[in-house]
Amino acid sequence: MLIRIHDDKVDANAMCQYIYEGKPFQGITYKVALDGKIVDEAAYFYGLKWVLFRGWYPNGQLEYDRPMRNGGDEGLGKIWYPNGVLQKEFFSEFGVRIWTKEWDESGKLIKDWILPEDGSHPSYRYLQSVRSDYVDYEKPPELVEFEQDVAAYIVTHPSNLIYYEKDFLQEQNDLIIQL
């Protein structure tokens, strides 16, 4: 079962693992604004950010949506301006940025960067070493179950919906998802 708790109930240890009740946290954390709106949520597997990391501006616009693995960016991430215009899109592997595109608030492309593959960039050399050490393994059953639970949570709590934490703003029932 996937547990969901307020962000202030977990603490980071010296190894950057998030700890809850003395153990590496496994579940979803969230942060709430004073008006009860969810402003940030992240999923953790054995204390490290995994799969889900997204946040919202006070106006309800999605601010960022960044897939994670082992605490680092993994896959396609996006960041938006408060007006909803895409600000940045990037792709990461093992926490290393492979490419980045950035736009100004009017939507004009202002940066288009790709990690050089000629070995001149230290991040590429690091990525090559991680890739060479990486062993593709069969996921343990608890990781498979966790990822399925997070996927189900994402489907039932889409990023384009403004929602409120239970017991906040009960007068706006059409916007409340009971968690």
Over residues 162-173, the pLDDT tens digits come to 555 554 443 333
Buried b (16+ CB within 10 A) or exposed e, 92-117: bbbbbbbebbbbeeeeeeeeeeebee
Of 22, 30, 87, which Cα lies nearest the Cα of 53?
30
**pLDDT tens, residue by residue, 81-139:** 999 999 999 999 988 999 999 999 999 999 999 999 998 999 999 899 888 887 777 77
| CB-count burial class (<10 Å; 0-12, 13-18, 19+) for 175 | middle
Nearest to 146 by CA among 47, 11, 77, 21: 47
pLDDT surpassing 50 at residue 178: no
